[in-house]
Amino acid sequence: MTEKFDEVKEVKVDYTRLRVPLGPVHPALKEPISLTVTVRREEILDVVIRLGHVHRGIEALAETRNLIQTLYLVERICGICSHSHTTGFVQALEEIGEIELSDRSLHLRSLIFELERMQSHLFLIGIMAYEIGFDTLFMFTWYEREKILDLFEEITGNRIHHSMNTLGGVRWDLSPSFVEKVNCSLNKIEKSAKYIQEVFQDKTVEKRLCGVGVLDYDEARELCVVGPTARGSGVKVDIRKAYPYAAYSELKDDFSVVLRNTADAQARTQVRILELFESINLIRAILEKLPDGPIYKESVIKLMKKIPEGEATSLVEAPRGELLYFVRTNGKEGLWRLNVRTPTIPNVLGLKPMLIGSEIADIPVTVASIDPCMACANRITVVDQDKRETIVTDLKNLRNRGKKQ
Amino acid sequence: MKLGNMLRDALRALLHKPVTVRYLTRAGEMVSVPERYRGKIVYDKEACIGCLLCIRTCPSGVITTTEEKKVSFNISRCVFCAQCAEICPTDAIRLGSDFEIVTSEKEDLIVQ
Ligand code: SF4
Ligand code: SF4
């Protein structure tokens, strides 16, 4: 027996190409995403991206509830852009039920939208600072974000899930004293945003971000990336301009689309910082123009009963990009189908061209720079390619399949 | 960033009072919350007429009926959306300012 162990086995390993698994649980990536990276020394040659670790089955769950219950369910798809999700959903319902909204409620919707965009961008700017190892800046940005969350708490009663939207309007009104408070906070935030902008032009920060994760214009167009990720590559897409919703058709002239051409992580961060100023301008314009009037129509129960069978799609510009809602109601207060296309789904595709050719150390920064929200982007479709058919499966079935493997 | 700016910021941070607040400001006194804050549910049993609209709109199945045609709330499932308070025709439900609802007794989380 000993002879066998004495034999020296020659194993041939090709050290020029190594496959490194990253995630789904990895200290550098905040949300579960699995990247299998093929590297030659430090250089990345290929990336395989796999999602699906945090699938929550929200679309299926929505089919078992009535419309009002679903409103609070879709809000919980994302904590950072909860208002975008409810806006997308109620807009589709309002289109099906042909519900007209008052001007004031539309303006209030846009106001919360912009505040949300600011807190989301500050959040990501903080994360970027953290990923490049600049923790002081991370703390500073998040402190500013806290001011917006406090505003949310005062206006709507909750910091994250504001529940501002309801069928036919919004739920909380803005009194003059709130207007004053918002203005006061905006002035402070504007000052700090200028400071943040200055720090991001610092040499050390620039060295860490410039030329990292480049996604050029053509690739961005081809992959249909959305939001600040697309705008950082010079693609001019903004739903607020292209298909104005809420009060944006009246506010068209109060903001501009920020574009950058360098297409790297620095460009995407710059876009977000500059959009902070655009949002501040927008909020000031909204507060100035805020028309009088009621904020909602009638009891939601009555409105829910009135919604007939039908389908609608609605688009909103969430902080991360274009968010699409497809809603099909069954005319009995419920839903046949809800389909949500969150901005991370197209943006995550951009990761591959961004990562190929860069270095391992740049992975966290690049992943963070598209502002991913993995839990929003997990979907299940079973497609049998040989038989060319799609299978509809239930949760129990899926669980059993998972056990077998 | 210039050295002067950095020094100025460092000094300012040293002299600045902390941005955090004490959790308990004084014994038994909680941090204040805004007026519209949505905390633990306060239920006025007398005012309730048993219309059960709240059950129909609650997104997380918090509310159940009781034998005397009133309702009971299981706060451990509540997401504090205040839809029940909004829909109630007699304002029997209100979301109070109590946010310290962690407990080891499940019964403490039932509001009747
Ligand atoms: S606050 Fe929302 S979740 Fe809680 S009981 Fe009321 S409706 Fe249900
Ligand atoms: S909606 Fe109000 S009145 Fe009706 S059952 Fe609920 S608590 Fe009672």
pLDDT over threshold 50, residue A405: no
- CB distance A263 to A230 below 8 Å: no
Beta pairing, strands A321-330 & A335-341: antiparallel
Does residue A174 fall inside a structural domain?
A: yes
A65 contacts chain B (CB < 8 A): yes
Establish if A392 belongs to a structural domain.
no
Nearest to A301 among B57, B60, B79 (CB): B57
- Residue B28: per-residue pLDDT: 67
Q: Tell me whether residues A161 and B87 touch, CB distance under 8 A.
A: no
Q: Please name each of the domains of chain B with its CATH number.
A: 33-111 (3.30.70.3270)
- Inter-chain residue contact A161 with B59, CB threshold 8 Å: no
State mean pLDDT over B40-66: 89
Q: Does B82 lie at the interface with A, CB-CB under 8 angstroms?
A: yes
Mean pLDDT confidence for A36-41? 87
What distance in Å separates the CA atoms of residue A183 and residue A93, rounded to the nearest whole number? 33
With a cut of 70, say whether residue A4 has pLDDT above it. no
Q: Which residues pair with A389 in a beta bridge?
A: A384
Average pLDDT value for chain A: 86
- Whether A381 has a pLDDT exceeding 80, the answer reads no
- Asked whether A239 and A316 are in contact (CB, 8 A), the reply is yes
Domain presence at residue A404: no
Taking each helix axis from N to C terminus, what angle separates A265-289 and A176-200, rounded to the nearest 10 degrees?
160
For residue A234, tell me if it sits in a domain: yes
- Is residue A202 over pLDDT 60? yes
Angle at A340 between CA A372 and CA A88, to 5 degrees: 100
Please give, rounded to a whole number of angstroms, the shortest distance from the CA of A68 to a CA of chain B.
6
Residue A2 domain-assigned (yes or no): no
Contact A172, B36 (CB under 8 A): yes
- State mean pLDDT over A281-300: 87
Percent of chain A with pLDDT over 90: 22
> In angstroms, what CA-CA distances link A360 with A133, A354, A363?
16, 12, 6
Residue A402 pLDDT exceeds 60: no
Continuous segment of H or E residues that includes residue A314: strand A309-318
B94 in A contact zone (CB under 8 Å): no
Instruction: Give mean pLDDT, residues A86-102.
Output: 90
> Omega into A228 within 30° of 0, i.e. cis?
no
Q: How many domains does chain A have?
A: 1
Residue A192 lies in a domain: yes
CB contact under 8 A, B82 and A68: no
| pLDDT number for residue A249 | 87
Taking the complete model, does pTM exceed 0.90, yes or no? Answer: no
pLDDT band at A145 (very low <50, low <70, confident <90, very high): very high
More confident residue, A41 or A266: A266
Cβ(A87)–Cβ(A108) under 8 Å? no
- Span A9-30, mean pLDDT? 77
Mean pLDDT computed over A74-91: 90
* Percent over 70 (pLDDT), chain A: 90
What is the average pLDDT across A342-353?
A: 88
Q: Does A181 touch chain B (CB under 8 A)?
A: no
With a cut of 90, say whether residue A11 has pLDDT above it.
Answer: no
Nearest to A229 by CA among A116, A347, A124: A347
Contact A143 B19 (CB under 8 A): yes
How many C-beta atoms surround the C-beta of residue B44 within 10 A? Answer: 12
pLDDT of residue A364: 86
pLDDT at A309 > cutoff 60: yes
Listed residue (A381, A390, A338) closest to A59, CA to CA: A338
In a domain, A133, yes or no: yes
* C-alpha–C-alpha distance, residues A323 and A83, integer Å: 12
A305: domain CATH number is 1.10.645.10
Least confident of A14-23, A109-118, A239-248: A14-23
**For ligand 2, which residues put their CB under 6 angstroms from it?**
B 48-54, 71, 87-90, 92-93
pLDDT for A242-289, tens place per residue? Answer: 888 888 888 888 888 999 888 888 999 999 999 999 999 999 999 998
Lowest mean pLDDT among A358-367, B14-23, B72-81: B14-23
Task: Report the residue of B19, B80, B83 to disrupt the A interface, i.e. the one with the largest count of A CBs within 10 Å.
Answer: B83
Q: How far apart are CA A360 and CA A270, in angstroms?
A: 23
The minimal CB distance from A73 to the residues B53, B59, B80 is found for B59
**Nearest CA of chain A to the CA of B37: how many Å?**
4
Q: Do A68 and B59 touch (CB under 8 A)?
A: yes
Interval A80-103 mean pLDDT: 90
Q: Is the pLDDT of residue A404 over 60?
A: no
Spacing, Cα B107 to ligand 1 middle (Å): 18
Domain region containing A291: 58-342
Residue A284 at interface with chain B, using a CB cutoff of 8 Å: no
User: Which among B33, B53, B81 is the nearest to A72, CB-wise?
Assistant: B81
Expressed in percent and rounded to 5, the helix, strand and coil fractions of chain A are 50, 15, 35
